[in-house]
Amino acid sequence: MQAVVIAGDHLGLVERPDPSPGDTELLVAVRAAGVNSADLAQRRGEYPAPPGWPDDIPGLELAGEVRATGARVRRFAVGARVMALVGGGGQATLATVDEAHALALPDGLSWPAAGGFPEAFATAFDALFSQGGLTLGERVLVTGAAGGVGSAAVQLAAAGGARVVATVRDPALREAVAGLGAGDVIDPDDVARHGPYDVVLELVGAASLAVVLPCLSTGGRVLVIGVGGGATAAIDLRGLMSRRARIGGSTLRARTHAERAAVVAALAAKVLPLLAAGRLRVPVSETFPLRRAADAYERFAARGRLGKIVLLS
């Protein structure tokens, strides 16, 4: 197979031995694989792959066709079209996926959209609903909402009956984010004027957190899932106490097999039907062939885009 390989700060397309599926695994011929901030962090040496995953082949999500199955696989057959969460190794022409971490593609979903769906929508759904406890009618703020996870979160929150406020720095992208279901799309400097917020999905990090915390409602919850704007912040604990507010954080990559399977099962039950019905979509900003992975990473880091950057095999 061919795989995107990290060597120092360089990305190259390298020949590697074909993987073989374990008893509960699928061997997938990868057609598309999303690029995520974790991939850029891994390239910088800041976010190593969990044990058991390739330490130099990035990629946390993929979509493709099942080429072979392990002896105990029951849900998918050879030829099935799947998308999946992986702990690494997704940016290659072949990858192994545990069947408990795989989803069947809805009819009509394109390969680029499928390749950009699992990580973004799993992260957003888990943070908003499983951890943030977002409920019907609550007011939610999504910071940095134009990216892959942000655009997923806006749609999921709106579909769940929440009132959505989204921050988008680039004025040219605000109308498109509003089209995903945000009632208000604002400049990050205007956060205070549109609160209070019951739930905040913090995708920016420390630069945003100091502005957001005073805008929480009583019982408000903040879920930090991005730190591109800094990972260290000063917090007014008295404000948290007076509002009975909570701050939490989340990542998917380091979770156990069973925890990841639970997230995928929730996606299958709650999110996939909305995607199949056309109530959700995966905005894809640009696609790149695997051999241009370095260009894709550069475009991802440049911002100024709506939705996902996806590599195609």
- 40-95: per-residue pLDDT in tens? 999 999 999 999 899 999 999 999 999 999 999 999 999 999 999 999 999 999 99
Judge if 2-117+253-312 and 120-249 fold alike in CATH terms.
Answer: yes
> H-helix or E-strand containing 287?
strand 284-289
Residues 6 or more apart in contact with residue 230 via CB below 8 angstroms: 205, 206, 207
Q: What percent of the chain is predicted at pLDDT more than 90?
A: 87
Question: What is the predicted pLDDT for the residue at 244?
Answer: 94
User: pLDDT digits over 3-29, tens only?
Assistant: 999 998 889 999 999 999 999 999 999
The pLDDT of residue 91 is: 98
**Among the listed residues 190, 152, 192, 188, the one whose alpha carbon sits nearest the alpha carbon of residue 170:** 188
HSE of 121 in the Cβ direction (CA atoms, 13 Å)? 30
Name the CATH architecture for the domain at 120-249.
Alpha-Beta Complex (3.90)
The architecture CATH gives domain 2-117+253-312? Alpha-Beta Complex (3.90)
Say which residues have a Cβ less than 8 Å from residue 78's Cβ, sequence separation at least 6.
66, 67, 68, 69
**Band of the pLDDT at 257, cuts 50, 70, 90?**
very high
Is the whole-model pTM more than 0.85? Answer: yes
C-alpha distances in Å from residue 94, one per residue of 18, 39, 177, 194, 293: 7, 18, 34, 47, 16
DSSP bridge partners of 28:
66, 95
Which residues touch 209 (CB under 8 Å, ≥6 apart)?
A: 202, 222, 224, 233, 235
pLDDT of residue 232: 85
The first and second tokens of residue 238, run together, are 């008295």
CA pair distance 63, 34, nearest whole angstrom? 9
| Least reliable range by pLDDT among 44-48, 143-147, 261-265 | 44-48
Question: Any bridge partners for residue 221, and if so which?
Answer: 199, 246
Domain borders along the chain are 2-117+253-312, 120-249
